[in-house]
Each structure stands twice: as C-alpha cells, then as structure tokens.
Amino acid sequence: MTGTTWHLLHTAPLSPAENMAIDEAIAGWVARGDVKPTLRFYAWAPHAISVGRFQRATRDLDRDALTLNGIPVVRRLTGGRAVLHADELTYSVILPETMPSLPTNVIESYRLLTEGVRRGYHALGVPAEFSVPLTEADREALRKPKSAVCFDAASYYELAVDGKKIAGSAQVRHQGAVLQHGSIPLSIDDDVLFDCFNLEADEKAEAKARFGDKAVSLNETLGRTVAFDEVAAAFTDGFRDAFDLTFEPLTFNEAQQQEIQELVAKYESDEWVWKR
C-alpha cells in the first residue's frame, strides 16, 4: 500500500448525517474501484454526538439534555462508544479490503493505519505513542467500560500522551472496503459531553473526574490554540510520510452526489439513529 496515489478530500463543516453518508459512499466507491483509496478531513456543523454502530443510544443518552444543548445524534457505521464532535478535526481513511500489505487482522490493520495519525501528531510536536492495555485491569476496563464515552479508555493501538488518550478511532470492514475514522479533539468541553448522558449526579461527577485523568486535547497538550487547517496539514504529512503517498483531489460527480443524498436520508432517520 506504500508508494501509491490516494485521493485527498477536505470537506466544509457538514451535518452529522452528511458526514457519515460521505464516508459510507466513498467506502462503496473504493470497494468497487471507482475511486482511489481516500484520506478525508472534516468538521461538524452543528456539533454532534456520534454513537457506535451497536451502542445502545436509547439507554446511554439523555434525549432531553441533547435537545436542550442543541446537539443532534448520528449512528456511525463503525463500532465503539459515543463521541462528542465539537472543536476537533475528524479524519477518515478508506481502502479496498484487498489492498496488498493491508493486514486481514483488524487490530493489526488498525495499528498500521493509525501510524499516519501518530506521525501527524509528531509533525505538530506531540509525542503521541500507541497504547497497549498491559494489565488485566486495563483489559477488563475495555471488556466492561465504566461509561459510554469513547475517550474514557484507550483501546489497543490507540494514541496517548503521558497515559492520556489523545485520539479516538474506530474501524469497520464494509462491503469490500476498510473504513477507519477518528476524532482529533482540539479542545474538550466535558461539561457539555457528560450532560448528554443518562447519569445520576454522583455518577456524572465520578465520570468527569475519571475522564480528566484519561483524556487530553491537542490544545492542552501543546499549550496553545491550534487551527483546523494546521492540524489537517500535519496529518496529511503524517500519512504521506508513513506510506510514501502522493495525493490528488477528489471531487464528486452528479451521480455520486445523488448517492450521498440518498444515504443522508438513512443517517437522519430515527429508525437508524435510535435503532438500539
């Protein structure tokens, strides 16, 4: 997979449904060979919570609080736990499942693709490294998470700085494509984040305290405010360096735009979002 040409796509801030629809549509085109492997960077307008494909959103989320905060919910194609997409850069990388040298093992392919993210952090001066749950207590925390929040614990080969999770990513194999996307928080508003979950007051306080010890934002790590474009450029360099890539832009034709709009309807539907 090294030494090849990929598409590079930057999209303007879009609705949650549009963002997820574009990722799924590109996965289909990549699997069919209609477009090259694609690296995409995007943001969210409005801010939103995404839940994992199999997460029980009806149990975990407080719909009244979500409405009060003006935060919509979307269900991802990938698994994992809930993420608040606010002041962040979101990335997706989409490859054909049959791509040479792409491991068939999910954890190993996750580690390989996350190398581009790791090098992107290094390009910004952030010494992010892979986390591996070493103790039985760490592994038990992954099997039985204490909260429904993604950044509450680091999984295998996620990225951390001084033991704190700095990026949250998830991967799925879908109809012949590998889709990995993730959240790179520039800052974190844990008050808004935890207000959106079904938690008693004492549970919420405990979860917030634990979260502060488990997660960190890019701004906090660097001690300065970073811009979206600066981060996108660094992560482009990270993937280029990791896989010896050249990039060319991706633009959608009329038929592709129509396919995206059809998928938007799916991601906007209560049948999909609140299916669990």
Catalytic positions, written as ranges: 150
Q: Report the C-alpha gap between 87 and 81 in whole angstroms.
A: 18
Is 169:83 a contact under the CB 8 Å cutoff?
no
Q: What angle do CA 254, 260, 262 make, to 5 degrees?
A: 105
**Residue 211: left (phi > 0), alpha (psi -120 to 50), or beta?**
alpha
Sequential DSSP letters for 113-146: HHHHHHHHHHHTT---EEE---SHHHHHHHHS-S
Nearest to 183 by CA among 10, 28, 49: 49
Nearest to 225 by CA among 237, 217, 233: 217
Six token digits for residue 128: 């992010």
Cα Rg for the chain, rounded, in angstroms? Answer: 18
3-state secondary structure of 212: helix
Is 113:218 a contact under the CB 8 Å cutoff?
no
Phi, psi of 109 (to 5 degrees): -70, -35
Residues belonging to the chain: 276
Q: Which residue matches tokens 């991967």?
A: 171
What DSSP designation does 152 have?
Answer: G
